[in-house]
Chains A and B, each alone.
Chain A
Amino acid sequence: MNDTNNSFQLDGEDLPFTPGQTIMQAAKAAGVYIPHLCWHPDFPAHGSCKLCTVKVNGRFGSSCTMEAQAGMTVENRTAELDDKRRTMLQMFFVEGNHFCPSCEKSGDCALQATAYELKMMSPHFDMFYPDRPVDASHPDILLDFNRCIMCSLCVTASREVDGKNVFAMGGRGILGRRIHINSESGRLADTDFALSDRAANICPVGVILKKRKGFAVPIGDRRYDKTPINEQVKEPTA
């Protein structure tokens, strides 16, 4: 494959890339959907959710962290990989409390839209129903940690863009690991977090929510209600 300079095969199609791009970046630029949750185009890859796992020359790898190489063969939307991704999604759903009918993010949520795309019909596993208290202390923003998928995007955005360091990931295990608020009291009200922060607008699920904005857009008319997530690869991300 000497004639494949700066392109690789993704599910049998030639995909061009710029040297230094990850597989995910190249796919996004070409409008090809690779399922993902913790990756955001504006930030360095976190590589934690593993939903973007592809097979590169027959071996599993995270497409958001692996650099594209000329001539590599990448499998993406195969039944084998989508089955594994669906199982990972089911684990996300059972380890939090995802009651979509009462969630303001419903219809705009990357986790939910990805689960639709992968035809997740049930949580499959037993539910954990963890106890994750909400933080409603801030005048403008509600934090509902029941839906946190630990993607770390709020941590990165607050630190790198807002220069505030409001969030941090801490603790261990499914029930212990969680987002902590960087204030003496541990409450969001006692930080300088503001509505205009990048971190206030980055959460892919329904944790960081603007108060007094509920149902501004009716359920059924929201982003992923209209168009499936795999057809919005080139649309701007929040």
Chain B
Amino acid sequence: MNGPMNAAPVAAKKLKVATTSLAGCFGCHMSFLDIDERIIKLLDLIEFDRSPLTDIKHCGPCDLGLIEGGLCNAENVHVLREFRSNCKIIVAVGACAINGGLPAQRNHLDLRDILEEVYQTEAGLSHGGIPNDPELPLPLNQVHPIHEVVKVDYFLPGCPPPADAIWKLLTDLLAGRTPTLGHGLLHYD
């Protein structure tokens, strides 16, 4: 585990990394934190920009953008575009960013029917009416993966990708290598 990190040509300037969770469950971010104490080593080499971990709200120029989740509403699309225009490298992290994931299992259903069932008709749920606050981003008719909207440089499958796969991707990128995952690290589930 130590090899790639020590061998990396450590830039004098730390790499700027931004992360976000779009239509995801934060599981990929939790798996990222599962790199455990390796994060201390990582913080010698990178600096977080916009991320749920920093609570910075907008993305500045970055070397790397890690995107968890697919696109289920208009805001997701705006955030993704902000990342793409600011990050040199975009990585789709996890099943939802890559193929829409479990949220896309709603794609064969009519959006209005879903909202009506959840907010108005289904027994046992509160019938407060379909939320219509202007602050709320409008849902898309279907959930889509991010590569259908912006160019994606690398993909890291998994639901979530294991911490060791995230670590492998980061150490490969920091060392200037094309990231690769061997058997056991490449998983779709």
> Among A100, A103, A122, A129, which residue has its beta carbon within 8 angstroms of that of B108?
A129
Q: In chain A between 78 and 118, which residues have their CB closer than 8 angstroms to a CB of chain B?
A: 93, 97-103, 106-107, 112, 115-116
Q: In whole angstroms, how far apart are the Cα atoms of A107 and B95 in the complex?
A: 15
Residues from chain A with a CB closer than 8 A to the CB of B64 are: none
Docked CA distance A122–B100 (Å) = 11
Bound Cα distance A115, B98 (Å): 14
Assess whether A127 is in contact with B104, with CB atoms less than 8 Å apart: yes
CB-contacts of B146-180 with A (<8 A)? 147-148, 152, 154-157, 159, 180
Nearest opposing residue in chain A for B186, CB measure: A116
Known: A116-B186, A129-B104. A101 touches B95 (CB 8 A): yes
Mark interface residues in B91-112 (1 if CB within 8 Å of A CB, else 0).
Answer: 0100100111110110110000
Q: Give the distance in Å from the alpha carbon of A115 to the alpha carbon of B184 in the complex.
A: 13
A101 and B104 CA atoms in complex are apart in Å by: 12
Q: A123 contacts B98, CB within 8 Å?
A: yes
Residues of the A chain whose Cβ atoms lie less than 8 Å from the Cβ of B145: 122-123, 127
Give the CA-CA distance A129 to B144 in the complex, in Å. 9
**What distance in Å separates the Cβ of B179 from its nearest Cβ neighbour in chain A?**
9
Contact flags A139-159 to B (C-beta < 8 A → 1, else 0): 000000000000000000000
Residue A124 at the chain B interface, CB threshold 8 Å: yes
B183 touches A (CB below 8 Å):
yes
Which chain B positions have C-beta within 8 A of A98? 99, 188
Interface flag for B142 (CB, 8 Å): yes
- Determine how close the nearest CB of chain A comes to the CB of B153; give it in whole angstroms: 11
Residues of B within 8 A of A123 (CB): 98-99, 145, 147
Asked if B135 is at the interface (CB within 8 A of a chain A CB), the reply is no
| Count of interface residues, chain A, beta-carbon cutoff 8 Å | 27
What is the minimal beta-carbon distance from B44 to any residue of chain A, in angstroms? 28
* A99-B102, A100-B95, A129-B108 known; A119-B188 Cβ under 8 A: no
Cβ-based interface call for B189 (8 A): yes
Given A119-B186, A126-B148, A127-B145, A99:B155 Cβ within 8 A: no
Which A residue sits closest to B159, measured CB to CB? A101
Q: Which of A102, A107, A119, A127 contacts B144 (CB 8 A)?
A: A127
B159 partner residues in chain A, CB cutoff 8 A: 100-101
Q: How far is the CA of A27 from the CA of B39 in the complex (A)?
A: 46
Per the bound structure, the CA–CA distance linking A225 and B101 in Å amounts to 20
Does the CB pair A122–B155 fall under 8 Å? yes
Separation of A64 and B157 alpha carbons in the complex (Å): 31
List, in ascending order, chain B residues with CB within 8 A of A102's CB: 102, 105
Pick the residue among B98, B107, B147, B181 that contacts A129 (CB under 8 A): B107
Given contacts A121-B154, A122-B98, A126-B148, contact A101 B189 (CB under 8 A): yes
- Contacts of A31 on B, CB cut-off 8 Å? none
- Identify A131's interface contact among B100, B108, B189, CB under 8 A: B108
**25 A-B contacts (beta carbon < 8 Å):** A99-B105, A100-B188, A100-B189, A101-B95, A101-B102, A101-B188, A102-B102, A106-B188, A106-B189, A107-B189, A112-B188, A116-B183, A122-B92, A122-B99, A122-B147, A123-B99, A126-B148, A127-B100, A129-B104, A129-B108, A129-B142, A131-B108, A132-B108, A219-B189, A225-B184
- Apart from A99-B101, A103-B189, list 20 A-B contacts with CB within 8 A: A98-B188, A100-B159, A101-B95, A107-B189, A116-B183, A119-B186, A121-B186, A122-B152, A122-B155, A122-B157, A123-B98, A126-B148, A127-B99, A127-B100, A127-B104, A129-B100, A129-B104, A129-B107, A131-B108, A132-B108
Residues of B within 8 A of A (CB): 92, 95, 98-102, 104-105, 107-108, 142, 144-145, 147-148, 152, 154-157, 159, 180-181, 183-184, 186-189
